[in-house]
């Protein structure tokens, strides 16, 4: 088996590797380091979590051991798609170059230009940057790339997804043609292949795993989810997420939850906090200082659940992440490989669980087509979903259009109807049988106006058709209603029978 001592690395680098506790290189490291030390271009394709960062950091430190940097002219350049990945590369450089005198500078957004300019003016051997901030310094006249000897492009497929390819091509044009290029990617999209054919010269291709494959030590699963109602989808999906976390029990020591949208990241993190989970959000809209504090808390164990957007899918090197939960199926199938690659790192076991709603079915098909395998289906811990109901169960479930007020007042209405029913069933008592207290008092009536008798149905039918047609619809409806009204019978209140006449004076 190949050891680091067999790779012709600088003794100072080997000492740092031993102090870090590493003895055996990973397949991508064993394949990429020897041709890189020979000065050849390297094209490395490997899934995330296989040690690609050390594959270019170790030979770079060895090759830069001789020489000295000049002001504003870095000797090597490492391009990363995100701030987190750039910071991760900088940490690796500090680990492996601590016994050397090499210097570095980190150019990322969210940090003062003044501090970065001061480092560049002194001269740095290794410049680690994101494309946007690098071009900002170049356009301000603070940076020259004509002295770059080694250029590294890390996570090239992520660069493609984030729209950095035009910037990468421009940066390639600013560096010398004689540079050495190390190009690493987890997947090999056609656009990435075009760039490698354009800017790499006879590269040594190292492909330690089939493109877009997932680690065998990661236990994967997907839970199909169908909401009971559209307006309850978000709440029920968060409840399902909590149930999935609880189902893992003590095995879930820490976890990363990925959401497609930044808004969902904040909502899910706030919901988990509400129910007592130690969770914090991280996404691109947060300040760099807050993102750094959150990542440090997650690495140290002060934060156990990290709710993240895809900005954290790359560059997070926390070897002990036990679980990854995909709250949404990623829109880009390649992101699934990088998301679940945050667990099961360095040969450890990991678990990746994904929630798939009906709208995500197409994205799920794209993911399974990319990894060329079907992700195992898991049982929904919330039980039967609306999509799985039988016709009988659907009939028993209240209709969506029924308001909550009607459902809430239904028991009271039933009780009220039950009380009223016995009273209605009693036969009406005649006036003579009623108690004396209930009989109306006899009053002297000077003139009684008898109510007009309702016209017989035959009489209405005998009216001329022209006369009926001339009447308004409201009158016809009133007549129809009069035919259905039930009279008061003999129990006419006395005050209705009174007659009021105007008294004449004198």
> Residue 46 is encoded by which pair of tokens?
């490997």
pLDDT tens, the chain, 506 aa long? 588 988 999 999 999 999 998 889 988 999 999 999 999 999 998 876 678 899 999 999 999 988 888 889 999 999 998 888 898 899 999 999 999 999 999 999 888 899 899 999 999 999 999 999 999 999 999 999 999 999 999 988 888 878 889 999 999 999 999 999 999 987 778 888 899 999 999 999 998 865 556 667 889 999 999 999 889 999 999 999 999 999 999 999 999 999 998 899 999 999 999 999 999 999 878 887 888 889 889 988 999 999 998 865 565 667 789 999 999 999 888 788 888 888 887 678 899 999 999 999 999 999 999 888 899 999 998 874 433 333 333 333 333 333 344 444 555 555 655 555 554 444 444 444 444 444 444 444 444 444 455 554 444 444 444 454 445 555 555 555 445 545 555 666 666 666 665 555 54
Which residue shows structure tokens 């210097």? Answer: 103
> Residue 439 is encoded by which pair of tokens?
């009989």
Domain of 346, CATH number, reads 3.40.50.300
Residues 90 and 222 in one domain: no
Q: How far apart are the C-alpha atoms of 505 and 282, rounded to whole Å? A: 94
φ, ψ of residue 437 to 5 degrees: the values are -65, -25
What secondary structure does DSSP assign to 238-257, as a single string? HHHHHHHHHHHGGG-SSEEE
Residues 259 and 143 in one domain: no
The number of domains in the chain is 2
> Residue 104 is encoded by which pair of tokens?
């570095």
- Using the 8-state DSSP alphabet, how is residue 377 labeled? E
pTM for the whole thing?
A: 0.62
> Residue 473 is encoded by which pair of tokens?
């619809």
Residues 192 and 239 in one domain: no
Distances (CA, A) of 238 to 242, 251, 321, 328, 385: 6, 20, 21, 11, 15
Residues 232 and 180 in one domain: no
- CB within 8 Å of 156: residues ≥ 6 apart: 168, 183, 184, 185, 192, 195
Looking at 366, 396, 426, the residue that finishes a domain is 396
pLDDT of residue 215: 67
Residues 158 and 277 in one domain: no
- Using the 8-state DSSP alphabet, how is residue 284 labeled? T
Residues 120 and 184 in one domain: yes
Q: Which domain holds residue 167?
A: 4-207
| CA-wise closest residue to 299 among 278, 287, 317, 283 | 317
Confirm whether 348 is domain-assigned: yes
Residues 153 and 101 in one domain: yes
Confirm whether 101 is domain-assigned: yes
């Amino acid at each position: 088996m190949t050891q680091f001592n067999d790779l012709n690395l600088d003794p100072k680098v080997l000492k740092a590797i031993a102090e870090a506790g590493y003895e055996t290189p990973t397949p991508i490291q064993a394949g990429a380091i020897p041709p890189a030390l020979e000065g050849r271009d390297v094209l490395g394709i490997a899934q995330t979590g296989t040690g690609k960062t050390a594959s270019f950091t170790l030979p770079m430190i060895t090759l830069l051991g001789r020489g000295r940097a000049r002001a504003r002219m870095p000797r090597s350049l490492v391009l990363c798609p995100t701030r987190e990945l750039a910071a991760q590369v900088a940490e690796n450089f500090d680990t492996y170059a601590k016994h050397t005198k090499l210097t570095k500078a980190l150019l990322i957004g969210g940090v003062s230009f003044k501090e970065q300019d001061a480092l560049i003016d002194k001269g740095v051997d290794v410049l680690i940057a994101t494309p946007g901030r690098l071009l900002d310094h170049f356009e301000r006249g603070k940076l020259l790339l004509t002295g770059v000897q080694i250029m590294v492009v890390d996570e090239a497929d992520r660069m493609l997804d984030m729209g950095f390819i035009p910037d990468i091509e421009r940066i390639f044009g600013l560096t010398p043609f004689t540079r050495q290029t190390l190009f690493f990617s987890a997947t090999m999209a056609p656009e990435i292949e075009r760039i490698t054919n354009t800017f790499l010269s006879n590269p040594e291709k190292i492909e330690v795993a089939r493109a877009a494959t997932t680690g065998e030590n990661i236990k994967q699963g997907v839970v199909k989810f169908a909401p009971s109602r559209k307006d309850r989808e978000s709440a029920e999906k968060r409840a399902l997420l909590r149930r999935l976390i609880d189902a893992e029990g003590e095995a879930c020591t820490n976890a990363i939850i990925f959401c497609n949208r930044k808004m969902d990241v904040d909502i899910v993190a706030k919901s988990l906090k509400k129910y007592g989970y130690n969770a914090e959000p991280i996404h691109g809209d947060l300040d760099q200082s807050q993102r750094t504090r959150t990542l440090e808390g997650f690495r140290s164990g002060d934060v156990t659940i990290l709710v993240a957007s895809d900005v954290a899918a790359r560059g997070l090197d926390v070897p002990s992440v036990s679980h990854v939960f995909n709250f949404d199926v990623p829109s880009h199938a390649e992101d699934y490989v990088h998301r679940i690659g945050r667990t099961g790192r360095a040969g450890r076991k990991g678990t990746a669980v994904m929630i798939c709603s009906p709208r995500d079915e197409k994205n799920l098909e794209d993911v399974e087509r990319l990894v060329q395998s079907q992700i195992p289906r898991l049982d929904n811990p919330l039980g039967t979903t609306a999509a799985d109901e039988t016709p009988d169960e659907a009939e028993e479930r209240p209709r969506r259009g029924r308001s909550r007020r009607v459902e809430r007042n239904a028991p009271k209405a039933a009780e009220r109807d039950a009380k009223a029913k016995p009273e209605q069933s009693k036969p009406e008592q005649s006036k003579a049988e009623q108690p004396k207290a209930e009989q109306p008092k006899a009053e002297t009536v000077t003139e009684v106006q008898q109510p007009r008798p309702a016209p017989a149905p035959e009489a209405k039918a005998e009216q001329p058709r022209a006369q009926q047609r001339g009447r308004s619809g409201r009158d016809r409806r009133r007549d129809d209603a009069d035919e259905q009204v039930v009279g008061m019978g003999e129990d006419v209140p006395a005050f209705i029978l009174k007659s009021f006449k105007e008294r004449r004076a004198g």
